[in-house]
Structure 1
Amino acid sequence: MKQTIATTVAHELAHQWFGNLITCKWWSETYLNEGFATYFQYMIMKDIEPTWEIEKYFLVNVLQSALDVDSLEAPALTTEVSTPEEILSHFGDNSYQKALYTTHEFTTAMPSNSSIPNFRYHLIPFLKVETSSSLVITSDMLEIFQTHVDAIYSGLPEGITLQSAMLSWIEQPGYPLVTASISGKNLTISQQRFLISDEDTISKWYIPITYAESYGEVNFQSTAPAQWLTPGKPEITFEMEYENKWVILNTYQTGFYRVNYDSNLWSGLSQALLKQNFDNIIEENRAQIVDDLFNLVKINKLKYSEVFKIIEFLKNETGYFTWVPAFKGFQYLWFRVQGHPELQAKLKDHITRLMAAFYNTTSISETKDEVLYTQRQLLGSSWACLLEEKTCVNDVRKVFSETVITNNKRPHKNIRSIVYYNALRYSNDTSDFDHLWILYNETEDNSQQLIVLQALACSNNQEKLKELLLETVKDNSKIRSKHFVFVYTAVYRTSLAGVKATLEFLPENFQKILEKYPAINIQENLIKNFAVVLTTTGQFEKFKSFIAGTSEFSNDWKSVGEKALEIANFNLKWFENHVSDLKTYYSIDDDDNNKDKDDGNNEDKGNDTNYSINIRPMELGLMLLSSYIILHSF
């Protein structure tokens, strides 16, 4: 929370320069305001609080989130807007996150004749530009950058200007996947668009290529491009000085692209990462490798079995910033094996084994006023408790019993969410639920109310969850109206019990839902986002029956229902595509396979173990982003 507040304040302060001193001439270029303000909200805190390692946080929570969003059919940074709806759409992740990284990618690649870091050094002339109105457009920025860079840099490809290179990122959507293959000393690299939902063979970018190698002097110290990929030369081959066992492209992940390697390079990296000190491969690039690996599965460039072999190094990894993309990748997989208990059990043991060293760097019983320690504590303990690690479960239940129930006090703020969520998750006593329900109604602080509501949604008591859902459609509800959608979403995203409760709640209360949320766009989001969590044939059939039972409603609603069924069906197809590979990797034989077959009621036979990492209030936006990504991932 401390970090969130600090960076938010820094963002608004940055708007005194980007947004006030100079501002975009029209909303089609919102990124000129928001992209730079977003960058400085992190870089300001980097100087003020160096112990937070904010530049690494920036990579795994800003850059990698932007890559997730832009791997879908996201719009370009500049598109014409005229209506209020179109203008509002420009205040999305791209204008904040991709925008800053597009500029950062190029200015970082350019040299600086100053002690000022490259990015800020190249921005200063932009801020000093004298305009009569302070209104700027993209060409204003690019012209100033071009003039400034021309005086000190000559490393661009022949015939290419900085303006034309940057426009390839600003005026077209998406980003590239750079693929590297090695033969002796020769390294071949090529580009194509990284796109989950479709295929694009046309889009190409000007890409500054940085790399580090296992031998020689090319290392992680420089962000100056060693090579360029261009639309005119989307594939190049060049000779290195040595025959390297591994090469890592995109050092420090300064470029806005993903990387894939041939089998030889992946094998070399896999072996290197298992060496002492990870063969000196820096944490920023370890985090990049993990994030790229899990995403390459989504576009069928790799299989999970191949990914698991490469990320075996995680058993020695205690760095928080490498584990952020690792857990994100595991959650995507964990989410989709619900209703398949044998496979889920194998995955549970796998993650538990890999994360043991990381989890043991902190303890529920020890809290510190250190941001990075608290982040490790929250991430590690949340997953350990989810995976039923005995020490974690016993620790949170002890704190809940002694602090909350016996002494009627709140746990320490750093572990409060973990304690509430997991105490309810593993409680068989309905009085624990009732105690937190009373606490919600006695609490005035909105952030604390959201923590308690999320904790209530963690309960595995299906009747209590249905009671909670019913409160969202009551006229005299004890839940604040602003929390209705949060509760509805939290229930079905948190456990199989929540999915079951929602599957019963929807047909029984659909008319009340329509009355409570008359706008078709809200109805659409409620139904589509629920469809995302359906992962078994039994759940799909019940949902399909519900949709069929509402056929008398409007044509708009019918369209919503059809789309929701497509989304639910995607999860079933996803499982079919990956189940064989996963079961082979985990050595699940045919007899074990029968345990995972879904006869239409399988979700009623398994346990109701919670399957989602519960979201703290500050992370609600990330939860909604996750829903968006899953929703559009087919």
Structure 2
Amino acid sequence: MGKGFYISKPVGIVSIILCAGALATIIALSVVYSEEKAKNNNQVSPTDGGTTSKPPVTTLAPSNEPWDKYRLPKNLVPDHYNLTLWPRLTPDLTTGLYIFTGESTVEFETTEETDLILIHSSKLNYTILENGHLARLTSVNSGVRVPLIKVSWLQSVTQYLVLQLDGKLMTGHRYHLYTKFTGELADDLGGFYRSEYMEDGVKKVVATTQMQPTDARKAFPCFDEPAMKAIFYITLIHDRGTVALSNGEEKGYPVTIDNQHVQKTVFEPTEKMSTYLLAFIVSDFDFINNTIDGVWIRIFARKPAIAAGQGEYALNKTGPILKFFEKYYNSSYPLPKSDQIALPDFNAGAMENWGLITYRETALLYDKEFSSNSNKQRIATIIAHELAHMWFGNLVTLRWWNDLWLNEGFASYVEYLGAHEAEPDWNVKDLIVLGDVHRVFAVDALASSHPLSSKEEDIQKPAQISELFDAISYSKGASVLRMLSDFLTEEVFTMGLRTYLSEFAFGNAVYTDLWKHLQMCLCTRISRTLRPTVNIIFPQAVDANGTELPDTVHNIMNTWVLQMGFPVVTIDTKTGVVSQKHFLLDPDSEVTAPSPFNYEWIVPIKWMKTGAVQSPYWLRGKSATNDAMKALGTEWVLANLNVVGYYRVNYDEENWGGITGLLILFFKLIPVINRAQLVDDAFNLARAKIISTVLALNTTKYLDKEREYMPWESALNNLDFFYLMFDRSEVYGPMQDYLRKQVTPLFNYYKTLTENWSKVPDGHMDQYNQVNAISLACRTGLEECQNLAKTWFKQWMDTNNNQIHPNLRSTVYCNAIAASGANEWEFAWSQFKNATIATEADKLRSALACTKQPWLLNRSYTLDPKMIRKQDATSTIVYIANNVIGQSLAWDFVRARWSYIFTQYGGGSFSFSNLINGVTKRFSTEFELQQLKQFKEDNAEVGFGSGTLAVDQSIERTTANIKWIAENKQNVLNWFRDETKPVF
């Protein structure tokens, strides 16, 4: 799944918020929705000719019975399903609900005798069949007695359809299980759900799916675990004039069912695959297509979007990215077609359904008149992420969700490689440092973090599975795999991937299977001889530079996979002593999680000395001495070159002084990516009390001469923390003065480079840094910048012709609204309501709350269900919390209405962790800490779903913030004042 479900931070732009009226809408709609659900709780069958009754549902406390356990027994193995579904795109006349009907037959084999069938099912109403039960069981094998169903019921807590038999199923025999059912085509963004949009004043409905991780069971009864792979024969019944899509190629023809003239679309059987990768969609979308080496590529979207050419970029880049991965994996694309579809309502960024990838519109559609270069990069990287999964995740699937990190971490790493293939001029591969490494450091430095891989038995419930879809799995996974690829070399890394995919194709694996293949290929490369692929005990080998590895791949990588966190490596250049320690943002926090390695890592260190690259060094154990790392006189040492290692670096005071002096005098002697690293490491080491905050601030003094994007972005990301901590205190003014002084040369540089803002910089990174220059200059009150933003915005208002370049719209909209009044806000609001381009709507949605007028934030509007889509609701609340004026508004809303939010967006929503972290990240007072603890206590029974861990992380982070402010506020204030004193 794409990581677009994380709340994105527009490049270098101040985080901003939407109006309280929209928030009021969420509250009201939540109430209305809950009441409507309650009124229709006892729904009856649709007009399909069958009789559906509400079957008995058991909600007893868990016991030792098989149906009270969350994992399926291993005695039934599915072979294939025959599934027919009929979604209704108009509401049922009796209930007013959108529904779907279905029939399913699953063929399974018995691997050991049993008189019990458990199959996943959730939120489905079953037709009572002629045998008086919820299912019918028959034998595939002639002459085999089929046990009768004694009793059948739904076990709601563990989400099973339970069938108790009057006899045993025989080992080695195959059976058919038939069911007929009805489900609600709800707007809950999970399972088989509906998406709505307006086109030419007419409401259109799409029936679509999101199965990952555990929602296939909401669409049909199935063995809903990733290792329970099967072949699927899918048939969709749908209105004539609509298009049906699924994983396989389709063939449709008109039929008449119950006097209704409909279309029947039958799909080619899928490959053997997991249930979470299934997709089926009915819409009246249009598409564009192309064929690359026999693979049919199609881009589907709303008809106006296709007509406007918004799918062209995705179509043009899909082919090259697909061919890149074929070469990378040395494996042909396993399917005959690759469909990609942009949905108006979609909770995640994208989903890698095999052969039918689903996306948010902003993740697939590009319009040069409205989309920025960051929008374009997001499309390229997300397409690459999802196409990478076609092999790694789909062809070979992890056995259980505890190893989700390998699936998502790998795709999050190679998405940069695929995007680089599509856009080689961007140099996008370096951006993994900002987008993933630095990003996840902030989470993994908490005592409440978690290891990449958990024990299988610790991940059982759907909510526990959903919690794994976090920054650790995606970004830390990507970071450690990048580190592994670097010290093995990309050649060895890809060789291991290829043999791994070959051995486990159409099956399942665990993460250690990959380690075995990488070790095998490393040793094969060293020996230059072909060796068997199994039953070998691998010796140590050497890394890409000929340095002896301190251990096997398995043992090295397990130190990074099986314990949470990461080390800070300290180099004392006076003695040559190199040491490591578990890095914690709050060194006083209590780490209760046990570690199999006592929080020690086997650390690969790439480094340079006085500008010359040195031989890599491996640190194993708490400390060791490397005489080469001693620095004499004017010498200096810089470690973690190109930030390929997943660790922070600290130095002795003399070396830090040499580096900060070097930044001021000769900063170009340090690679760009390491200049970004130095700033990020310094600020975080200071938060952890390892170095002084003054030393960290000193790393920003050279920025008035810096023109590269990555160091500036790193600095702004870290200074955002200072804004969060001090935008309500007396530190704010001097901090603004200092940052305005530092950014003014960058602002003037881009003013000259763009010929007074009339051109767009050529380089991809330069376009990003132009946004940083304008954003920070306006944010810190540079009058010329604010006048520029207001002038551009007013020209748009006066002429109704938007000439603001898409790259600059977010920051211009925000700063113009912030510096203006109600008229500008009202204009932006009307543009938001009428926006037909998703990326433009997002820019306006976030910019609306940049206003500094509290009365505008508290303004109320009529209740309109289209005001905010469900997919955007949690991010909207976080935008509110990002605004110092809206902070309390957002927090009060979340506290007061948590049960409504939780019900409205489902316990498995991937957005809850972002929501909780987002609304609490400014917390830095004892009062806020107590409120947060009370929030946890008050809602213990309601639960937090995928946000459970985020609550503990927020408490830990708030505690650390309180202590940090107490210890640093005065020093920070003095430093900013000193740096902005007039020079006489």
User: TM-score over 0.5 for the alignment?
Assistant: yes
Aligned to 1:462: 854
Aligned to 2:577: 188
2:688 alignment partner AA: I
2:800 alignment partner AA: N
Q: CA deviation at 1:330?
A: 0.8
Distance across 2 between alignment mates of 1:545 and 1:311: 35
1:161-209 CA-partner distances (Å, limit 9, x unpaired): 22211111111111111001122xx411100111224356931011112
1:577-611 CA-partner distances (Å, limit 9, x unpaired): 211211332358xxxxxxxxxxxxxxxxxxxxxxx
Q: CA deviation at 1:249?
A: 0.9
2:925–2:962: 8 Å Cα contact kept in structure 1?
yes
Q: CA deviation at 1:139?
A: 2.2
Between the two proteins, the alignment pairs up a number of residues equal to 559
Check 1:166–1:371 CA distance in 2 against 1; reply closer, same or farther (3 A cut). Answer: same
1:77 aligns with 2:452: yes
Aligned to 2:817: 424
Which of 667, 673, 676 is matched with 1:284 structurally?
A: 673
1:122–1:145: 8 Å Cα contact kept in structure 2?
yes
1:212 aligns with 2:605: no
4+ residue runs of structure 1 moved beyond 6 angstroms?
A: 509-513, 519-528, 543-548, 550-555, 557-560, 562-569
2:487 alignment partner AA: A
Aligned to 2:486: 108
Q: CA deviation at 1:421?
A: 0.8
Ranges in structure 1 where 5+ consecutive residues have no aligned partner: 589-634
1:354 aligns with 2:742: yes
Q: CA deviation at 1:515?
A: 5.1
Check 1:572–1:172 CA distance in 2 against 1; reply closer, same or farther (3 A cut). Answer: closer
Q: What pairs up with 1:517-532 in 2 under 5 angstroms?
A: 529-532=918-921
Check 1:131–1:455 CA distance in 2 against 1; reply closer, same or farther (3 A cut). Answer: closer
Distance across 2 between alignment mates of 1:358 and 1:210: 32
Aligned to 1:175: 566
* % identical equivalent positions: 25
Higher mean displacement: 564-573 or 233-242: 564-573
Aligned to 1:618: none
Aligned to 1:96: 474
1:403 aligns with 2:791: no
1:150 alignment partner AA: C
Higher mean displacement: 292-301 or 50-59: 50-59
1:362 aligns to what SS in structure 2? helix
Distance across 2 between alignment mates of 1:557 and 1:131: 41
Q: CA deviation at 1:499?
A: 3.7
Aligned to 2:430: 56
Aligned to 1:258: 648
1:191 aligns to what SS in structure 2? strand
2:567–2:600: 8 Å Cα contact kept in structure 1?
yes
2:453–2:562: 8 Å Cα contact kept in structure 1?
yes
Which of 838, 845, 849 is matched with 1:446 structurally?
A: 838
Aligned to 1:594: none
Aligned to 2:664: 274
Q: CA deviation at 1:517?
A: 5.6
1:388 aligns to what SS in structure 2? coil
Check 1:557–1:176 CA distance in 2 against 1; reply closer, same or farther (3 A cut). Answer: same
2:550–2:620: 8 Å Cα contact kept in structure 1?
no
1:312-371 CA-partner distances (Å, limit 9, x unpaired): 222211110111110011110122112223x21111121122223333342454335753
Distance across 2 between alignment mates of 1:398 and 1:86: 50
2:886 aligns to what SS in structure 1? helix
Aligned to 2:624: 235
2:618 alignment partner AA: W
1:22 aligns with 2:399: no
1:531-572 CA-partner distances (Å, limit 9, x unpaired): 4435579xx58x989999x99977758999x98898767645
Check 1:435–1:359 CA distance in 2 against 1; reply closer, same or farther (3 A cut). Answer: same
2:708–2:766: 8 Å Cα contact kept in structure 1?
no
2:683–2:697: 8 Å Cα contact kept in structure 1?
no
Q: CA RMSD in A?
A: 3.6
Q: CA deviation at 1:76?
A: 1.3
Aligned to 1:613: none
Check 1:6–1:316 CA distance in 2 against 1; reply closer, same or farther (3 A cut). Answer: same
1:535–1:571: 8 Å Cα contact kept in structure 2?
yes
Aligned to 1:166: 557
Distance across 2 between alignment mates of 1:502 and 1:437: 20
Check 1:554–1:485 CA distance in 2 against 1; reply closer, same or farther (3 A cut). Answer: closer
2:649 aligns to what SS in structure 1? strand
1:74–1:173: 8 Å Cα contact kept in structure 2?
yes
Aligned to 2:503: 130
Distance across 2 between alignment mates of 1:190 and 1:360: 44
1:471-528 CA-partner distances (Å, limit 9, x unpaired): 5xx754662252444433323322x33346658x75xx98677656657979998677
1:398 aligns to what SS in structure 2? helix
Check 1:194–1:417 CA distance in 2 against 1; reply closer, same or farther (3 A cut). Answer: same
Check 1:390–1:553 CA distance in 2 against 1; reply closer, same or farther (3 A cut). Answer: same
1:174 aligns to what SS in structure 2? coil
2:408 aligns to what SS in structure 1? helix
1:339–1:535: 8 Å Cα contact kept in structure 2?
no
2:565 aligns to what SS in structure 1? coil
Distance across 1 between alignment mates of 2:677 and 2:962: 29
Which of 757, 762, 783 is matched with 1:390 structurally?
A: 783
1:480 aligns with 2:868: yes
Q: CA deviation at 1:298?
A: 1.6
Distance across 1 between alignment mates of 2:382 and 2:505: 30
1:457–1:487: 8 Å Cα contact kept in structure 2?
no
Distance across 2 between alignment mates of 1:131 and 1:308: 51
Distance across 1 between alignment mates of 2:635 and 2:580: 22
Distance across 1 between alignment mates of 2:649 and 2:936: 46
1:351 alignment partner AA: L
Q: CA deviation at 1:234?
A: 3.4
Check 1:118–1:68 CA distance in 2 against 1; reply closer, same or farther (3 A cut). Answer: farther
Higher relative contact order (CA 8 A, sep 6+): 2
2:585–2:960: 8 Å Cα contact kept in structure 1?
no
Distance across 1 between alignment mates of 2:402 and 2:931: 43
Check 1:478–1:144 CA distance in 2 against 1; reply closer, same or farther (3 A cut). Answer: closer
Between Structure 1 and Structure 2, the one with more helix by share is 1
2:413–2:481: 8 Å Cα contact kept in structure 1?
no
1:415 aligns to what SS in structure 2? helix
1:60–1:325: 8 Å Cα contact kept in structure 2?
yes
Distance across 1 between alignment mates of 2:896 and 2:408: 41
Distance across 2 between alignment mates of 1:425 and 1:242: 50
Aligned to 2:139: none
Higher mean displacement: 88-97 or 259-268: 88-97
Higher mean displacement: 259-268 or 140-149: 140-149
Check 1:557–1:523 CA distance in 2 against 1; reply closer, same or farther (3 A cut). Answer: farther
2:627 aligns to what SS in structure 1? strand
Distance across 2 between alignment mates of 1:30 and 1:386: 40
1:75 aligns to what SS in structure 2? coil
Check 1:553–1:308 CA distance in 2 against 1; reply closer, same or farther (3 A cut). Answer: closer
Distance across 2 between alignment mates of 1:77 and 1:83: 18
Q: CA deviation at 1:64?
A: 1.3
